[in-house]
Amino acid sequence: MRFNDKKQKLDYLLELIAKGNTGTVEVLCIRLFVQKRSLYRYINDLRELRYEISYCRLRKTYYLINEKK
């Protein structure tokens, strides 16, 4: 998948998180074509937009705690 801008990456990341289907950080970086630091910035950007995102160590995936308020 090709991405033209940051918004497309954020939308795709949010879609994966909503499905609880991100995989590990390393896998997610490969899927988004970004470095770890960029991925953490994207997740923080989503959190600033009031998405409650957490990481499950057991399932090894990010997930939404609650929908956006």
Provide the pLDDT for residue 38.
95
Query: Is residue 10's pLDDT more than 60?
Result: yes
> 7 and 1 in contact (C-beta within 8 Å)?
no
pLDDT, average across residues 6-21: 93
20-47 per-position pLDDT tens digit: 999 999 999 999 999 999 999 999 999 9
Average pLDDT, whole number, for the chain? 90
pLDDT, average across residues 9-27: 94
Strand partners, 56: 61
22 contact partners, CB below 8 Å, separation of at least 6 = 13, 16, 28, 31, 61, 62
Domain annotation covers residue 19? yes
Range of the domain at 30: 6-66
CA gap 43, 62 in Å, rounded? 10
What CATH number does the domain containing 59 carry? 1.10.10.10
> 20 and 31 in contact (C-beta within 8 Å)?
no
Provide the pLDDT for residue 66.
75
Domain annotation covers residue 1? no
Domain annotation covers residue 27? yes
Counting the structural domains of the chain, the total is 1
Chain mean position to CA 30: 12
